[in-house]
Structure 1
C-alpha cells in the first residue's frame, strides 16, 4: 500500500511540475483582469434608442447578431424558395473570409471580413437596394494570431457587427488583445479601444451587442476572461467584470426576464446573468459546459442555452436562474431559436430538434443530414437554417411534426447566419474549397 501511495504522490508531483512548466512557457498567458465599476469610470448610461426595430407587425432593420429578438423576425412576404437562377435580387463579391453575419441598418448591409496577403481585418458596406459596394474600411493591418491559435474552421473575422443606428461597432482579436472599433456610416473610424488581453486557444468568436448607450462585449479566454460595457459614443470603458479562465465562445444576449433587462451568457460551466448598465452579477447557475458557442434565447421569463465541450446539455432556467428542465442533448456551434411555445435547434451533426418550452419534452426530431455551423432564424411561421454543404432548409415552426417547406441550394457552404429585413433574406455564402474558396453576399427576394 505504501508503495502505491508513493507512486501516486510521485505522479501528482510530476503533473504539477509539468503544469507549472507549461504555464511558465507562455502557452497559457495568465493576465489578471482589472475590474472597473461605473463609479470609477463615471460613464452614465443614456436612453439611446436603437434606430431600427419593430413597428406594428412590420419588422425593419437587423442591426446586430440575431437581430433584436433572438433570431425572430416579424417580416412577411419573405421567400421560402430560391436558387442561383431564381429569387436573387442581387449578389456581391465579399473579399477574404469571415463568419461575420450580415447586418442591415438603414440603406446599408454591413459585414466583417479578413484577408491574407495583406493580413487585414475589414468592415465592408454594401448598398441595401442593389448590392453595390459602398465602402471598405481597415480595422487592423497585420497583428493576426498564429495559425495554431485559430481553429481550422474559424476565421479572423468571426464576430457580427452591431449598430445603434449611428455607429457600426466590431470586435476583433489582434496582437493578443481584444479591440473594439466603431465606424460611422461612411466608413470613417470614430474610435478604437483595447479592452483586454486574450490568450487564444481556438480564436475569438463573440459578437458585440447594444444596450441603450453601451456596447457590450464578451472575451472568455484561458488567460482570464471578462465582460465589458463601453460607451458607444466615446469608446470609453464604462465597466468590466472578470469571468474566470476558461476558453469559451458565446456572445452575450440582452433578454428581458421578470420585466428586467439582463445580459445572459453561457460558458465557464455556467449560465450567468448581469445588469447591463453596471455589469453587476444578478445570478449564475452551474450548467451546460466549460466551452459553449451558442447565444442564449429567452421567452416568457425563461432562458434557454445549449452546448458544449466537454459536457453536453440543453437547459431551461427561470428568471431567477433556477433550473426548470434539462436534456442531455448538445447543440454546440449553432444557436437555438424560440417562438415562445417551441424551442428549435439543429445540432452540429444535422439533427433538428423541437422541444416544448414548458417542460423540455422532445416534440419531434429529424435528421436533416450534413453538418451545421449557421444558426436558425424564424420568420412568418417558418424556420430558416443553412448547412455546410450549400443547402438551406425551410421548415414549419410547428411543434406538431417536422414539416419541410423547401430545400434550397446555393453555393458550397454557409457558416454565417441569415439576416432578414423587409421582404428580403441576406445570406453570406461560400463557393469552392481551400485556397480556391471565395465568398458572396446574396439578397434573396421574390422579385429577384
Structure 2
C-alpha cells in the first residue's frame, strides 16, 4: 500500500483533527504515523534545534500537541508530586504548570517506567492526565482543574507502576485500569482499583460504564479499530489477551487469548497495529506475537490467528509501526526487528544501538522513513524495506542512559522530544 493511502486509512477514523495536531498517545490514527512533509530527518544539539525547555519534573509521558500547545506530565523523583504542564509549541514558554497530586503514596515503579508515564489526551477544550493511584484529572486547556476521579490503589505485584493513557471517544474518556487488585495491596491498605476498563463522562467525570477484565497488571492504551461493515471496536491489549469492546457501552465483542509455558505472554504494553485486514499484537515479553484476521466475534483464539511466532530473547516496551505491510519493532537491547504482517516472516533482526542503549519508546513513521528513538537521546533513521539501511543517527542531550523514555510527537513541521528534564523542539532552520 502506498504511503499516502496508508496515512489516509490511519486518519480515516480520527474525528475533526487539524493536520497540525497530535492529540493523544501515538497520534492521529493510533499508529505513530505522521503526514507531515516538512519536519527534518537530521538534527543534533546544535543542528535544527529550535528550542529546549526545562521541565518541572521527570517522566516518560509523551508530548501531545493541540492548537499550538504541548501537554505532558511530570513527577518528582519519588512520585510524591505529579504535575500537568502546558508549553507553547512555537516558543517553548511554559504556559501553565499545575500540581495535580501531592502526598499520595506512589507505590512501586520500575526505573524504565517512573511515575508520569501515561500521556495526556485532549479534545481541544479539555486535557486529561492519568497518574494511577492519584487518579484521572481533567483540566481546561487554560489550566483550570475541572474534575478529578480516584479509582483506588493501583497495585503491581512486580512493582512496575502504571502507564496506560486516557482515551477519548465521543463524550467519553476511557481508562484502562488493569492492575493486580487486592492480592498486591500494601500491608494494611484497602481499596484497590477495579481490574476493569472504565468509561467516564468527559465533561463531569461521572462513570458511564465499567467492564471487568480481571487480568492483572497491564499497561496498554485502548485504540479504535474499524472492521468490515463499518463497526468500530475499541481494542485493548493486556495480560495474556487482546480484546475488542463496543466503545459506547463497554460490552466485550471478541477476545483472543495467548499463552506460554513460561508465562511469557504478558505484559501487553505495546499498542496493536493494523492494515485493515489483519491486526498485529505483541505480548511485550519474549513470548508470542500474533497476527489476527479481522473481524472477530466471541472467542477467536482458535479461529482467527493467522500466525504466531515467539519473540525469543526480546523485551518489547514500545509499540511498533507499520509501513507497506512491514512491521518495525525496537526492543530493550537496542535491536530492531522487521517482519511481514501477512506472513510473520522475520526479514531482519539487527542491532541498531551501541550495545548499551535501549529502545524503550515507540518509533515514528515520518516522510516515508522509520525513526527509532533510543533511551540515551539517539534517534536512528531507517530506510523502510526488507534489509536494514541506516540513514542517519541524530543525538540530543548528553547521552545519559534512561533519559529518553518518551515517544516523539510531530506537529507543524516540528518534532517534539521529551527527556527526563527537558522538552526539545526540532525543526528546519
TM range (shorter): 0.7 to 0.9
Q: Does 1:240 align with 2:210?
A: yes
Residue in 2 that maps onto 1:418: 408
Aligned to 1:154, which of 99, 113, 123?
Answer: 113
Residue in 2 that maps onto 1:303: 279
> Alpha-carbon deviation of 1:308?
2.9
TM-score by length of 2: 0.84
- Please give the residue correspondences for 1:1-150 in structure 2 after superposition, counting only pairs within 5 Å: 50-53=15-18, 59-69=19-29, 70-116=31-77, 119-146=80-107, 149-150=108-109
Higher mean C-alpha displacement, 155-164 vs 219-228:
219-228
Change (3 A) 1:213 1:326: same
TM-score by length of 1: 0.81
Task: Give CA-to-partner distance per residue, 1:330-372, whole Å, 9 cap, x none.
Answer: 4521111112521111112121111111111122232112311
Residue in 1 that maps onto 2:422: 440
Distance in 2 between residues matched to 1:312 and 1:260, nearest whole Å: 31
Distance in 1 between residues matched to 2:236 and 2:222, nearest whole Å: 5
Q: Does 1:357 align with 2:341?
A: yes
SS in 1 for 2:256: strand
Residue in 1 that maps onto 2:150: 194
Q: Does 1:384 align with 2:371?
A: yes
Task: Give CA-to-partner distance per residue, 1:227-254, whole Å, 9 cap, x none.
Answer: 0111111111111111114212112222
Distance in 1 between residues matched to 2:164 and 2:87, nearest whole Å: 23
Q: Is the 8 A contact 2:338 2:386 kept in 1?
A: no
Q: Is the 8 A contact 1:170 1:208 kept in 2?
A: yes
Unaligned runs of 5+ in 1: 1-47, 54-58, 431-438
Change (3 A) 1:354 1:234: same
Q: Does 1:332 align with 2:316?
A: yes
Residue in 2 that maps onto 1:166: 125
Whose radius of gyration is greater, 1 or 2? 1
| RMSD between superposed Cα atoms in Å | 1.9
Residue in 2 that maps onto 1:220: 178
Task: Give CA-to-partner distance per residue, 1:311-334, whole Å, 9 cap, x none.
Answer: 612211122151111121145211
Distance in 2 between residues matched to 1:237 and 1:299, nearest whole Å: 33
Change (3 A) 1:372 1:386: same
Q: Which runs of 4+ in 1 moved over 4 A?
A: 48-51
Distance in 1 between residues matched to 2:89 and 2:412, nearest whole Å: 11
- Please give the residue correspondences for 1:170-181 in structure 2 after superposition, counting only pairs within 5 Å: 170-174=129-133, 179-181=135-137
SS in 2 for 1:389: coil
Higher mean C-alpha displacement, 116-125 vs 247-256:
116-125
Distance in 1 between residues matched to 2:142 and 2:324, nearest whole Å: 38
Task: Give CA-to-partner distance per residue, 1:128-167, whole Å, 9 cap, x none.
Answer: 1110010001111210323xx2123321111000011111
SS in 1 for 2:151: strand
Distance in 2 between residues matched to 1:381 and 1:155, nearest whole Å: 32
Aligned to 2:293, which of 306, 318, 341?
Answer: 318
Distance in 2 between residues matched to 1:375 and 1:282, nearest whole Å: 28
State the aligned residue count: 380
Q: Is the 8 A contact 1:306 1:331 kept in 2?
A: no
Task: Give CA-to-partner distance per residue, 1:176-206, whole Å, 9 cap, x none.
Answer: xxx2111011100111112344223321111
Change (3 A) 1:169 1:51: farther
Change (3 A) 1:305 1:347: same
Higher mean C-alpha displacement, 275-284 vs 111-120:
111-120
Distance in 2 between residues matched to 1:377 and 1:100, nearest whole Å: 16
Q: Is the 8 A contact 1:340 1:357 kept in 2?
A: no
